[in-house]
């Protein structure tokens, strides 16, 4: 009873394998403490949300993320600080405050917020309201540019504080989670694209201001990322791995060394001052004007100035940045193999973004 008989000499029947859609998905090795398998992992990605790369790779990739964030932070500060009347010293201190608070907010998001591998940074949606605040203060009304910068920063602080209250209400009241259920890619993608594509008129012309540095960077980035892995694949598989993951570090190192050589060789000694500021490696004065140790604390530029008009303009930027963050969280979850963030996770994340909104307050 219960045994299956078969004729001698006839091979036993072989079970039909399950369909491809029902087979378990092969993923990269997950961590020892992983309690859930990845929701979905793309074949071209080697890591998921539970993967544990080596410490060497983690350090290299973390430094790569830092450089990407540093580039956008420096470009953002280079736009708003000169318009506010600040010089190299003020620019260096604002960059320090941005990086410091971005690190705090990244830890909050990865430990308490969405718990996704996202790096939080200041949004470019706040550029327009900050520039509008800066244009309302005339240079003739102040004795120096530094005084004008401090006054503009105090007005910006007040607008950011009021706007952050709206951010907290949307997040901690769980209203944003109810709104997020009605969001679709058709709604979110145009909002993010309008903000991102609008920066081309600010960022891309910077390449033309120093063609001998910007153009080689573009060409080298395309060659190293797209063609070098295919060419060196037959030599060793490790070279393809290095080119695919650390190509940006390689390009930045080579181009920066090239610019330093041109500066030391005197290639820009007899050019205009504007060309020197864009091409030389020793004309930004950021490192020389920045203190070695700087501890950020609230309101070290003075008490905030609250104005209704400035606050309402900043509230619009808060809504745009919330759209951007929501789309980024969904995209990160999909690429990391995690489940889509539910409504209560999104609201918690949006509420915690009050830290990033109040970066300039530092």
> Tokens 């990739």 — which residue?
61
pLDDT in tens, 115-165: 888 888 888 888 888 988 988 887 667 888 888 999 999 999 889 888 888
> Tokens 């500060």 — which residue?
77
Q: What is the average pLDDT across 60-69?
A: 84
Task: Say whether 30 sits in a helix, a strand or coil.
Answer: strand
Q: Is the pLDDT of residue 8 over 70?
A: no
Q: Which of the listed ranges 36-40, 254-258, 278-282 does the model predict with the highest average pLDDT?
A: 254-258
C-alpha angle 126-128-132 in degrees, rounded to nearest 5: 120
**What gap in Å lies between CA 101 and CA 168, rounded to an integer?**
17
> What integer best gives the mean pLDDT of the chain?
78
**What gap in Å lies between CA 119 and CA 136, rounded to an integer?**
33
Q: How confident is the model at residue 53 (pLDDT cuts 50, 70, 90)?
A: confident
List phi, psi (to 5°) of 51: -70, 150
> Tokens 């299956």 — which residue?
4
> Tokens 């405050």 — which residue?
97
The partner residues of 30 in beta bridges, in order of sequence, read: 51
Please give the pLDDT value at position 37. 55
**What gap in Å lies between CA 347 and CA 350, rounded to an integer?**
5
**What gap in Å lies between CA 259 and CA 213, rounded to an integer?**
7
Please give the pLDDT value at position 11. 52
Cβ of 227: how many Cβ atoms within 10 Å? 11
> Residue 296 corresponds to which tokens in the numbers above?
């950020």
**What gap in Å lies between CA 115 and CA 219, rounded to an integer?**
36
Angle between helices 343-352 and 88-111 (to 10 degrees): 150
**What gap in Å lies between CA 110 and CA 120, rounded to an integer?**
10
HEC letters along 134-156: HHCCCHHHCCCHHHHHHHHHHHH
Contacts of residue 113, defined as CB under 8 A and 6 or more positions apart, other chains included, come to 345, 348, 349, 352
**What gap in Å lies between CA 321 and CA 130, rounded to an integer?**
14
- Give the length of the chain: 362
Cβ of 317: how many Cβ atoms within 10 Å? 22
> Residue 20 corresponds to which tokens in the numbers above?
């491809």
Cβ of 181: how many Cβ atoms within 10 Å? 10
Q: Is the pLDDT of residue 166 over 80?
A: yes
The separation between CA 292 and the C-alpha centre of its own chain, rounded to angstroms, equals: 25
Q: Is the pLDDT of residue 1 over 70?
A: no
What kind and span of H or E run contains 338? none
Do 116 and 110 meet the contact criterion of CB atoms below 8 Å apart? yes
């Amino acid at each position: 009873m219960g045994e299956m008989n078969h004729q001698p000499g006839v091979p036993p029947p072989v079970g039909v394998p399950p369909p491809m859609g029902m087979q378990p998905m092969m993923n990269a090795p997950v961590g020892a403490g992983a309690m859930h398998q990845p929701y979905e992992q793309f074949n071209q990605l080697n890591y998921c949300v539970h993967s544990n790369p080596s410490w060497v790779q983690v350090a290299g990739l973390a430094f790569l993320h830092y450089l990407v964030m540093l580039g956008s932070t420096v470009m953002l500060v280079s736009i708003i600080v000169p318009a506010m009347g600040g010089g190299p010293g003020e620019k260096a201190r604002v960059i320090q405050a941005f990086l410091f608070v971005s690190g705090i907010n990244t830890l909050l998001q990865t430990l308490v917020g969405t718990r996704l591998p996202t790096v939080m940074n200041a949004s470019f949606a706040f550029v327009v309201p900050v520039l509008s605040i800066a244009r309302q203060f005339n240079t003739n009304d102040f004795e120096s540019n530094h005084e004008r910068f401090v006054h503009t920063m105090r007005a910006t602080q007040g607008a950011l504080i009021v706007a952050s209250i709206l951010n907290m209400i949307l997040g901690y009241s769980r209203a944003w989670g109810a709104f997020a259920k009605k969001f679709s890619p058709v709604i979110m993608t145009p909002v993010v694209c309008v903000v991102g594509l609008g920066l081309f008129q600010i960022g891309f012309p910077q390449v033309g201001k120093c063609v001998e540095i910007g153009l080689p960077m573009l060409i080298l980035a395309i060659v190293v990322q797209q063609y070098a892995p295919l060419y060196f694949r037959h030599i060793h598989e490790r070279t393809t791995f290095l080119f695919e993951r650390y190509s940006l570090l390689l390009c930045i190192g080579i181009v920066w060394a090239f610019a330093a050589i041109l500066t030391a060789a005197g290639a820009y000694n007899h050019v205009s001052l504007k060309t020197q500021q864009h091409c030389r490696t020793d004309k930004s004065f950021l490192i020389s004007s920045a203190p070695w140790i700087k501890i950020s604390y609230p309101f070290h530029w003075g008490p905030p100035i609250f104005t209704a008009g400035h606050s309402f303009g900043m509230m619009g930027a808060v809504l745009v940045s919330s759209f951007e963050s929501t789309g980024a969280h969904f995209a990160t979850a999909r690429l990391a193999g995690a489940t889509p963030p539910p409504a209560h996770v999104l609201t918690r994340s949006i509420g915690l973004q009050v830290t990033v909104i109040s970066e300039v307050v530092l």
